Structure 1
Amino acid sequence: MPVIAIVGAGPGLGYEIARAFGGEGFTVALVARNAEKLDALAAELGGEGIAAAGFTADVTRPDTVAAAFTRIKERFGRIDVLEFSPADRALDAAGVLDVAPENLQPMFDFHVGAVTAVKQVAPDMIAAGEGTILVTTGGGSINPVPFFANINFAAAGLRNWTLNLHNELKEHGVYVAHVAISAWIGAGHPDAEPDVIARKYVELYRTRTEPEHHHIALDR
């Protein structure tokens, strides 16, 4: 069975991405900080007939990310799809004129977790001549939002690197795409429901053409 690793797995979008790919026959590796919550998500997926397991890691600590991926590969084998979409509500947003090193560095540390995760799977994908990497940010990485200026700063850098990665790895048979989400997920807009957004990830995986998708669901 193919394997997807979801970094930042939670009860919202991460869970629905797991369900969407699980429905395509994938085994699911859930990566996040809280082992108890991961085990609960894995049990829910198991109840739907989807093979899943949790692996703890903190994206701001590269050693824990590397260790988690080592455990995933030991248990499930090569990872076919990597999806990166963690969120941390404890990180404070700052407006344009309030951006400073002390509120910008934590955002960089958080977003750079994607680089660490990609490095755990890219060599195997290149060697196999196939694989998919999907990196998620907020829509401010494309259309800046003044009151999220420090987040946008870091997310725009991650977007730039992901698009570069798309160009670099496509010659090796590895598909990379950036997903920007301009939506209050689960807040009531029909196109902002986690299961609706998750289906787009499967579509990207299947079509393997777009380097970027901007999912917009803000108007009521």
Structure 2
Amino acid sequence: MSTMAIVGAGPGLGAAVARRFGREGYDIALVARDRHRLDTLVEELAADGVGAHGFPADVRRPEELVAALRAAGETLGPVEVLQYSPVPHRDFMRPVLETGHRDLLGPIEFSVYGPVAAVQQVLPGMRRLGRGTILLVNGGTAAVPHPERTGTSIAFAAESAYGRLLHDRLAREGIHVAQLVIPGAITPGHARKDPAVLAETLWRMHRDRRGFRHYADDLDA
């Protein structure tokens, strides 16, 4: 049985991805801050025949995230697929001229320290398996910076650079690193941004292992 860890798991995209990979036989480790919501999501997934376990952690506290992923590996086996997709806080999105240096701490903790800590924790297990996939999910400011969303524009750019470096370095080891950029909001019923559609896109990215950056929809003009 293979294990997938979803960091930032929630009732939208996280749940849809858990169901999609669960259909392929993956055990799912759900990582998020709220234990109660995790327990509810585990129950809902169990009703759909998906084996999932919750591991509480705040992505802005690297030691918690590392401990959660360590526990996931000990409980379910080495993480073969890691998805890092927490939703940024609204206060990360300040206009550029109103953004001071301290305002960037949260976004950097969220989108740089978090994924680096997560990758460093699961990478040894992937290397032992001889395979793995790391999926980074970001908003449109990862590709086109926005003057009203300074924190995510800067932090997503850094996360993108980290992901690209991993992609280039780890491909030779059978570990695929890819990024999905989702412009705008995840929207139920949308032809390309419905959670189930995005989950299918992420499954194909894992399965097909082609290239680093993928787009869920056209970027805003």
TM-score, normalisation: structure 1: 0.95
Residue of structure 2 equivalent to 1:73: 73
**2 CA distance for matches of 1:2 and 1:78?**
8
* 1:27-106 correspondence runs (5 A): 27-89=27-89, 91-106=91-106
Instruction: Indicate the percent of aligned positions where both proteins have the same amino acid.
Output: 39
Residue of structure 1 equivalent to 2:18: 18
Say which SS state the counterpart of residue 83 (structure 1) adopts: strand
Residue of structure 1 equivalent to 2:174: 173
Shift of 1:40: 0.5
Residue of structure 1 equivalent to 2:214: 213
Alpha-carbon displacement from aligned partner over 1:40-88 (angstroms, at most 9, x marks no partner):
1011110011100100011111110111112111111111100000014
Unaligned runs of 5+ in 2: none
> Which portions of structure 1, spanning 4 or more consecutive aligned residues, are displaced by more than 2 angstroms?
88-92, 187-190
Shift of 1:128: 2.4
**1 CA distance for matches of 2:143 and 2:16?**
24
Aligned letter for 2:94? A
Aligned letter for 1:138? G
Residue of structure 2 equivalent to 1:134: 135
TM-score, normalisation: structure 2: 0.94
Tell which deviates more after alignment, 155-164 or 144-153: 144-153
Aligned letter for 1:43? E
Residue of structure 2 equivalent to 1:150: 151
Say which SS state the counterpart of residue 30 (structure 1) adopts: strand
CA contact (8 A) 1:189 1:217 kept: no
**2 CA distance for matches of 1:90 and 1:213?**
24
CA contact (8 A) 1:189 1:218 kept: no
Shift of 1:8: 0.1
Shift of 1:100: 1.4
Aligned letter for 2:198? I
Shift of 1:190: 2.6
Shift of 1:217: 5.5
**2 CA distance for matches of 1:187 and 1:92?**
24
**2 CA distance for matches of 1:20 and 1:217?**
24
Alpha-carbon displacement from aligned partner over 1:179-207 (angstroms, at most 9, x marks no partner):
11113112653322111111100000110
**1 CA distance for matches of 2:176 and 2:219?**
28
Say which SS state the counterpart of residue 190 (structure 1) adopts: coil
CA contact (8 A) 1:82 1:132 kept: yes
Say which SS state the counterpart of residue 180 (structure 2) adopts: strand
**2 CA distance for matches of 1:188 and 1:176?**
28
- Equivalent pairs, count: 219
Tell which deviates more after alignment, 101-110 or 83-92: 83-92
